[in-house]
A and B are shown apart, each in its own frame.
Chain A
C-alpha cells in the first residue's frame, strides 16, 4: 500500500493527532470519557477528554472508578453504554404525516442526517457486538435504514484489552481480548519502562491512510511483543467464564428448569440488562399526534423483553411472569439468536452483570442451568438402569 502504513507505534501526541485528523475529516469522534463516576461514551473534542489514568473495579451489580498510577487510557472496562447508543439511538423519528385543508394526507420520511462517526476505543467484544447488530439490522428481512446510514462509513478504532474486568468473559464467547477484524485501526496500549505508547495496526485502506498521516514511529519488535504478550496475558485473566458446553443446546433443554423460578424471585424486571447489552436491538414504535389532530409522527424507541407491554397482544401480555421474561432474555441471547441470526447474541462484555442493580449474573445462571440439566440427565440414566426402559429424550 503506497502512502499508507500497516503498523506503527503512536504516543499520546499520536492519539491527539488522530482525534484532530478525524474531526478535520468532518467526523463526529466518540470515545470513552469520565462523567458522574463512570467511563461513559461521548463526543470527544480532543484526546485530552479520554480517561487517562482511570481504571475500573467492577463486580456483579457494582462499578467503581479507580485512579491508576500508570496513566493508562484504555485500562477500564465496559461502562453503562455501548456504541449502539450512537448507531441505534434510543429514540429516532421515522416519519411524519400531515393532513392538508383539503383532507389530503402527505407522509414524509423524517430521518435525521446521519452523523459520520469515528469510534475511538472500541473493545474487541464490542466490535463483535457491532457485527452482530449489523446482521440483525441490515443483514436480513428487516432493514433499519437509519442504522445502515450511520453504520456505513463509520470509522472504527479498536482498543485491544489488556486489563479485563471481573465481569468479562469474552474468551468464552470467542470475541476477545484480541481484535482480529472489523476495524479500521486497532490500538494496543503498552505502558512499561520504555514509555507509554500504542501499537497501532491498520485494518482497512482508510485506516492505513489515516495512520500514515499521524506522527508515529515505525514498529519496533519490543513494542510489538509487549503488546502481543499483554493481550495474551489478558486471555487468562478473564473474571468469568461460561460453562464450556453448547449454550445453545443447554437453553433448548432447559425451558422447564426450576432455576427460572429462582432467578425470577431475584430479578427486578427493570430492563437494565437489555438496555446496556450491546447487541439487544428491540424497539417499539410510538405514534404521536398533536392537539390539532392534523399532524402525526412515528418514532422508534428502545424497548425490552422485560417490559410487560413488549409481548402485549389482544387480551394481555404473553409473557406475564418475570420467569418467562427472564427466560426470554437468556434463551434469546444464548440460543434462539442462532436460529434467527446465525450467531450467539452474547459477546461476553459483562455489562449486563455489572449494571444489573441486583447483580444477576448471566454466567452464573447458565452454570446453574447446566448443573440442573446434568443432574436431571444423571437421574434419568439411573432410572433407566433400574427400569431397563428405552432411554427417554429429555423433555423439551
Chain B
C-alpha cells in the first residue's frame, strides 16, 4: 500500500513547532512506517516534490514572498494543517500589527531599503484555506500525533477548544488565581498544554491563544485585582497570540472596552 506523503513547511517562525515532530521519538519509527516524509528540511535535505497528502505549515506570513509561497504550498497540499501560534495567530512577530513597521525598520536597520516586509504578520488562514489549525507556542506533541493519526484514520482529531481550566481541574491542580491570587489566563485560553504552568504554581501565559469561548472582558478586572495595572495587563496579553487576544477583547463589550481600545492606541 502506498503511504501518504507528509511535507513540513516553514514561514516566519522559530522552528520550535516542527521540532515537536522530531520530538516524537518513541513514535517516529511507527510514523515513518505509515507516512512518507517527503519534505522536512529540519530532518533531511532529501526532498521529494509535491503534491503532498498532508502539509504541516509553521510560521506566519510577514513578507510578500511568504504570501506567494503559502499559496504555492496550498496548491500542492491535499490537507493543510497550520501548526503553532505563528501560523494560527501571527505569533510574537504580530506585535508589529500594533505598531508602525516603517518606523521600526528606520530605527533598526542601517539600510531600511534592503528590507522587504509586510506591515503585518498574519496567520496562514488569512491567506489560504486551512483544513485544521493546531494551536500552541509550541504545539503539544500529543496533539500533533493526534492530528496525524486522525488524518491517517480519516477521522476528526480530538482537540478540544475549551479553556485551560478544564485541564487544570482534571489534573487536580489547586487554582493559582483563587488560592494564591496569581494572575492566570487559563480561563480564556485554549486547552492543549495540559495546564502545565498552574501545576507549577504559575499563571497560564496564554500560549495556545483564546479558547473557543473566551470572555476576556470578564477576566480583565480579575487581572487588575491580582496586581496587573492596565499596562501590565496589556503586556500579559501581548505575547505569542497578541492579535488573537486583541480580537477577543474587542469582541467583548462595555466592561473592558478599555483593553480593546488600548490595543489600537498604543503605537
- When distances are taken between beta carbons in the complex, the residues of chain A under 8 Å from B165 are 268, 270-272, 275, 357
User: Are the CB atoms of B174 and A291 closer together than 8 Å?
Assistant: no
Pick from B152, B162, B178, B179: contact of A271, CB below 8 A: B162
Which residue on chain B has the smallest CB distance to residue A37? Answer: B179
User: Are the CB atoms of B170 and A40 closer together than 8 Å?
Assistant: no
Also in contact, A271 and B163, with CB within 8 A (given A289-B155, A291-B30): yes
User: Are the CB atoms of B161 and A308 closer together than 8 Å?
Assistant: yes
Pick from A64, A291, A307: contact of B149, CB below 8 A: A291
A322 sits at the interface (CB 8 A):
yes
Pick from A35, A40, A62, A309: contact of B161, CB below 8 A: A309
CA gap between A368 and B42 in the complex, in Å: 59
Binds A, one of B51-59, B73-81, B93-101, B214-222: B214-222
Also in contact, A291 and B152, with CB within 8 A (given A61-B178, A354-B178, A355-B178): yes
- When distances are taken between beta carbons in the complex, the residues of chain B under 8 Å from A38 are 174, 179
Pick from A35, A64, A80, A309: contact of B169, CB below 8 A: A80
CB-defined interface of B166-191 with A at 8 Å, one 1/0 digit per residue? 10011111110111110010111000
- When distances are taken between beta carbons in the complex, the residues of chain A under 8 Å from B166 are 270-271, 275, 302, 304, 307
B197 sits at the interface (CB 8 A):
no
Pick from A35, A61, A90: contact of B174, CB below 8 A: A35
B201 sits at the interface (CB 8 A):
yes
B69 sits at the interface (CB 8 A):
no
Also in contact, A268 and B218, with CB within 8 A (given A64-B179, A292-B34, A293-B34): yes
CA gap between A205 and B161 in the complex, in Å: 48
B148 sits at the interface (CB 8 A):
yes
User: Are the CB atoms of B148 and A291 closer together than 8 Å?
Assistant: yes
- When distances are taken between beta carbons in the complex, the residues of chain B under 8 Å from A308 are 161-162, 212-213
Cβ distance B136 to chain A, nearest Cβ, rounded Å: 18
CA gap between A289 and B152 in the complex, in Å: 9
User: Are the CB atoms of B179 and A357 closer together than 8 Å?
Assistant: no
User: Are the CB atoms of A272 and B169 closer together than 8 Å?
Assistant: yes
User: Are the CB atoms of B149 and A36 closer together than 8 Å?
Assistant: no
A286 sits at the interface (CB 8 A):
yes
User: Are the CB atoms of B160 and A307 closer together than 8 Å?
Assistant: yes
Also in contact, A288 and B174, with CB within 8 A (given A308-B212, A358-B222): no
- When distances are taken between beta carbons in the complex, the residues of chain A under 8 Å from B33 are 291-292
CA gap between A302 and B161 in the complex, in Å: 14
Pick from A63, A80, A269, A286: contact of B213, CB below 8 A: A269
Also in contact, A287 and B213, with CB within 8 A (given A85-B172, A358-B218): no
A248 sits at the interface (CB 8 A):
no
Cβ distance A62 to chain B, nearest Cβ, rounded Å: 6
CA gap between A94 and B127 in the complex, in Å: 42
CA gap between A90 and B167 in the complex, in Å: 10
Also in contact, A289 and B149, with CB within 8 A (given A276-B169, A309-B162, A357-B175): yes
A204 sits at the interface (CB 8 A):
no
Cβ distance B5 to chain A, nearest Cβ, rounded Å: 15
A265 sits at the interface (CB 8 A):
yes
Which residue on chain B has the smallest CB distance to residue A56? Answer: B179
A290 sits at the interface (CB 8 A):
yes
User: Are the CB atoms of B170 and A275 closer together than 8 Å?
Assistant: yes
- When distances are taken between beta carbons in the complex, the residues of chain B under 8 Å from A36 are 173-174, 179, 201
- When distances are taken between beta carbons in the complex, the residues of chain A under 8 Å from B177 are 61, 357
User: Are the CB atoms of A306 and B162 closer together than 8 Å?
Assistant: yes
Which residue on chain B has the smallest CB distance to residue A286? Answer: B158
- When distances are taken between beta carbons in the complex, the residues of chain B under 8 Å from A287 are 155, 158
Cβ distance B248 to chain A, nearest Cβ, rounded Å: 12
Cβ distance B170 to chain A, nearest Cβ, rounded Å: 4
- When distances are taken between beta carbons in the complex, the residues of chain A under 8 Å from B184 are 357
Which residue on chain A has the smallest CB distance to residue B184? Answer: A357
CA gap between A337 and B81 in the complex, in Å: 42
- When distances are taken between beta carbons in the complex, the residues of chain A under 8 Å from B27 are 291
Q: Which of B36-90 contact A (CB under 8 A)?
A: none
User: Are the CB atoms of B172 and A40 closer together than 8 Å?
Assistant: yes
CB-defined interface of A289-324 with B at 8 Å, one 1/0 digit per residue? 111110000000110101111000000000000100
- When distances are taken between beta carbons in the complex, the residues of chain B under 8 Å from A304 are 162, 166
User: Are the CB atoms of A302 and B175 closer together than 8 Å?
Assistant: no
Cβ distance A262 to chain B, nearest Cβ, rounded Å: 12
Cβ distance A211 to chain B, nearest Cβ, rounded Å: 31
A81 sits at the interface (CB 8 A):
yes
User: Are the CB atoms of A289 and B179 closer together than 8 Å?
Assistant: no
Pick from A63, A64, A268, A356: contact of B163, CB below 8 A: A268
A91 sits at the interface (CB 8 A):
yes
A267 sits at the interface (CB 8 A):
yes
A111 sits at the interface (CB 8 A):
no
- When distances are taken between beta carbons in the complex, the residues of chain B under 8 Å from A358 are 187, 218-219, 221-222
User: Using a CB–CB distance below 8 Å, which chain A residues touch chain B?
Assistant: 35-38, 40, 61-65, 79-81, 85, 90-91, 265-272, 275-276, 286-293, 301-302, 304, 306-309, 322, 325, 354-358
Report, nearest first, the 9 A-B pairs whose CB atoms are least far apart: A275-B169, A270-B187, A90-B170, A268-B187, A270-B165, A36-B174, A38-B174, A291-B30, A307-B162
Q: List 19 A-B contacts (CB under 8 A).
A: A35-B174, A36-B173, A36-B174, A62-B178, A80-B169, A80-B174, A91-B170, A268-B163, A268-B165, A270-B165, A270-B166, A272-B175, A275-B165, A288-B158, A291-B30, A291-B34, A355-B175, A357-B222, A358-B222
User: Using a CB–CB distance below 8 Å, which chain B residues touch chain A?
Assistant: 27, 30-31, 33-34, 145-146, 148-150, 152-153, 155, 158, 160-163, 165-166, 169-175, 177-181, 184, 186-188, 201, 212-215, 217-219, 221-222, 253, 255
Q: A271-B169, A308-B161, A325-B213 are in contact. List 20 more A-B contacts (CB 8 A).
A: A36-B179, A38-B174, A40-B174, A80-B175, A80-B178, A265-B218, A265-B255, A268-B163, A268-B219, A270-B163, A270-B166, A272-B187, A275-B170, A287-B158, A288-B149, A291-B148, A291-B149, A307-B160, A307-B162, A357-B219
